[in-house]
Structure 1
Amino acid sequence: MGISALKDKSERGFLDGQFLIAMPGVQDGNFARSVVYICAHSPAGAMGFILNRQQDLSFPDVLEHLKLIEEPHTGFLSEQARYFPVLYGGPVETGRGFVLHSDDFSSESSIPVSDDISLTATLDILRAIAEGKGPKRATLLLGYAGWGPGQLEAEISNNGWLNCTPQDDIIFDPNVDTKYERALAIMGVSPEMLSTEAGHA
């Protein structure tokens, strides 16, 4: 399931626009202690972005790689652009960039994810950020997380994930180290309270 699924608003799932928080039993290196923002959920599958994995690349590195700027010109970037967060969004299409951002920026390719958050996956938003004309709040993610039909629902029923309403502060905060604990705190849970055993009434 790819970004095209976001354009089809029909048959949306209950996890649209939700946080997924990995339970201790999730040992997969991509997803252990991860916070994922789900952008699309339907019978066809689900797509989202890991919000608490730093990339080794900086935003100027990405601009240079895409030939949007030349190396000597990186010093002329705005402070926002020089320190703009670049995260590992997931294991699918890791060479592709996606920008989650506030809805004060829009291009023809921007797709609304929620009432106040959009997703843009084209170079125009990177140019705008580099020029200091980008959205007020945004994060660049390389790659995404994807699940096939029924896969995510099965993982949740097997006690793999918690889900809760997201907070913009967690989505856009460049400090990834505390996002796991902060996302759990939305639910009134601390990491120590989590069990790897599924509960059965």
Structure 2
Amino acid sequence: MPQPILYLPSGWTEKHPEAAEVAIEDFEVQRLVDGHGHTLQDAAAKVGVSKSTAGRMLQRSRRLIAISIERRLPFFLDASEDLELQVQPTATVDHSDTGGFPVLAVAVTKAERDVEVARIFGRAAFFAIFRNWDSEPEFMENRASLAPRNAARDTIRMLSEQGVGCVVAGRFGSEAIELLGEVKIEAVVASGIRLDQALDLAKFATR
């Protein structure tokens, strides 16, 4: 797991401890739009959120970075240079009380069976919940996806209340990984695949 990056302006000292924190999810939208020329619609599709949500994420990231530069404040970017967060293997969780099956949640972009796995965990619009390997998914709306802050924390609370033991998403932030570990939910990174493929991957990862 890469350590958070701290950008310090020239001349900054510890006498000025105020700093801005730029969320990895928000910066990913800005990186795609400002850095690589994608349209907002394309960026929204790539990160698995609606266009309006992506617009708010882009605005937050731009504003925080602009204010940091204007006020000569440091800012934290919780990501590696390429924003690819590699999840370290988590401790094995005992699922004997559920017949060996961890209730599975897969972050998805729509409440449909034939759908792609959402790229960003906390901003996923829905989660497909599987109570056993052969069951049809229950689709749960992730209201935290539209929250201005603490999206990952609120999402994890929702999944924990559902008894989830394993979650699949395209990307997890470092805070999400830590919080998932605290509630003993295994995190499986799966980018660019569809829901049925994610189910097969989870079978392999949790067996």
- Common fold by TM > 0.5: no
Higher helix share: 2
TM-score, normalised with respect to structure 1: 0.29
Answer 1 or 2: higher relative contact order, Cα 8 Å, separation at least 6.
1
Given the two structures, how large is their TM-score scaled by the length of structure 2? 0.29
